[in-house]
Amino acid sequence: MEESTDQQLAAQLEHLAIENGALQTRTINSPQSTEVKAQLPRTYEQAFDDLEFFAGKLRGNNIFTDESDCTRKLAGPFSRGGLLILLLEPRWNHPWVEGVEAVIESCATLQALEEGVEIGSRGTLNLLNDVSLIDLWPFLHSQIRPEDESTKQKLQSLVFTAIEAKEPDVLLCMGFEAQQAHKTRKANSSYRLRCPLYAKHPSHSVNYEHTQNILKRSELLHAISKACQSLPGGMRNQNIRGQLNSTSNPPKVDQFDDEKHLFKKEDLECITQFLKIIMKLCFGPHLILPRSNIDKSRYRAQSRYYLEESHEQYLDKLEESQESKAVVVVFREMNSCFQRISWFQNRYRVDVVQVSQCLQKHCNSEFEKTCYMLAKDEDIQSEDSSGNEVKLEIGPVDAFRRMERITRQANRLWQDRKFYPVSNGIYQRFADED
């Protein structure tokens, strides 16, 4: 039944394509000198042409050039083998006119796949150049998907014909519909792909809030990594999950491209440590410290630490006190200077101009004295537990150097506290909580 349907569909497509000049043809002279139109040898690219042609007919020949170009770039490379990822459908509002890079940048699913492929392959693969992406419903988002069952079957048959022509070394079916469609094809076809793998759709991990966001991201990264490692020559048994999410790994922080000249790498590390100690100073021993925003906020969230409602309420109350108000203000402003730039890793970009403005405005001798008082959890003493003098002021000093001194001295005082807030142990299983 399947073979007969495929033959009829192929004949219809060839007739329509030749009629419209969509397929290359050549003339074969038979012994009877009768001209016969014959299609050139089948390739993945030719099969994709058939697929696009059929989808175009379903859309009333209304596939724009920009959409076609971007979709083809994502479907490439058109060579045989490699990794092919089968998704569900295109988003209805992709910015096709801005190019394929903009399409990836604006789509959470494609962002996560791009980063996951880079991590899973240890930088040897690039989503756009080395991995083929194809939808189960190519060129047809949910609002214009065909309702006729026969048309649906024809379209999906063309999708898997293209996949089989590609002969990928690894096929990663992402999402329930993609998995079921592949299983149906497998049951009704003699063709067998070398290494089919199944995983949840990336959207499940990056577009929706879950009580276990970290676990969902971890599963997604593991699936992509497994697909990369299953390729010929792929590095097997990489402990990707453990390597990325070790609690000993510090956060990675960078500047915006147009601010590269403002701070050195060690300065960025100092800014990160300063925010960390200020965050600790804001919360009492009965609270769990705020966590990195990976498991709550989305990609490019404008903060380093995610504040639960209980944290916000505590900070509001703390801000009512004139003594501690400055520390709360600095923490909130500094926290907003960080922008998350990774779906899976503890990586951020910091707005150093905003940091500088915050330090110039707030980081004075009174602020420094308040930090030491909160770090000691009592009125400031002249010496710490090691007998070293706590110097609140050492002559004139700029705001950045004062920040360094506060970070160093407040950390030392913090270690002497008998009671201090703790981190969430469950959270530390996965994320980089430094």
Assess contact for 327 and 278: CB atoms under 8 A: yes
Query: What are the structural domains of the chain?
Result: 2-242 (3.40.470.10), 252-428 (no CATH)
**Biggest alpha carbon–alpha carbon distance for the chain:** 109
Please state, in angstroms and rounded to a whole number, the distance separating the CA atoms of residues 184 and 178: 10
Predicted confidence (pLDDT) per residue in 161-210, tens digit: 999 999 999 999 999 999 999 999 988 877 777 789 999 999 888 877 65
- Summarize the confidence of residues 91-102 as an average pLDDT: 94
Three-state DSSP class for residue 313: helix
- Residue 119 pLDDT: 92
The most confident of the ranges 126-135, 278-287, 408-417 is 126-135
Assess contact for 274 and 401: CB atoms under 8 A: no
Predicted confidence (pLDDT) per residue in 136-149, tens digit: 999 998 888 888 88
- Residue 27 pLDDT: 29
Q: Would you say residue 132 has pLDDT above 50?
A: yes
Q: What count of residues does the chain have?
A: 434
Other Cβ atoms closer than 10 A to 388: 10
Enumerate long-range contacts of 339-343, CB under 8 Å, 24 or more apart.
339/300, 339/301, 339/302, 340/293, 340/294, 340/297, 340/299, 340/300, 340/301, 340/303, 341/254, 341/299, 341/300, 342/115, 342/299, 343/111, 343/112, 343/115, 343/116, 343/206, 343/217, 343/299
Percent of the chain with pLDDT over 90: 38
Q: Would you say residue 252 has pLDDT above 70?
A: no
Non-local (6+) Cβ contacts of 332 within 8 A are 315
Least confident range of 67-81, 173-187, 297-311, 323-337: 297-311
By the 10 Å C-beta count (0-12 exposed, 13-18 middle, 19+ buried), 275 is classed as buried
Task: Choose between 45 and 17: higher pLDDT.
Answer: 45
Q: Are strands 347-350 and 338-340 parallel, antiparallel or unpaired?
A: antiparallel
- Residue 250 pLDDT: 55
Q: Would you say residue 117 has pLDDT above 80?
A: yes
- Residue 254 pLDDT: 57
- Residue 10 pLDDT: 45
Task: Choose between 408 and 20: higher pLDDT.
Answer: 408
Which position has the token pair 């915006």?
256
Minimal CA–CA distance to 298: which of 108, 106, 90?
Answer: 108
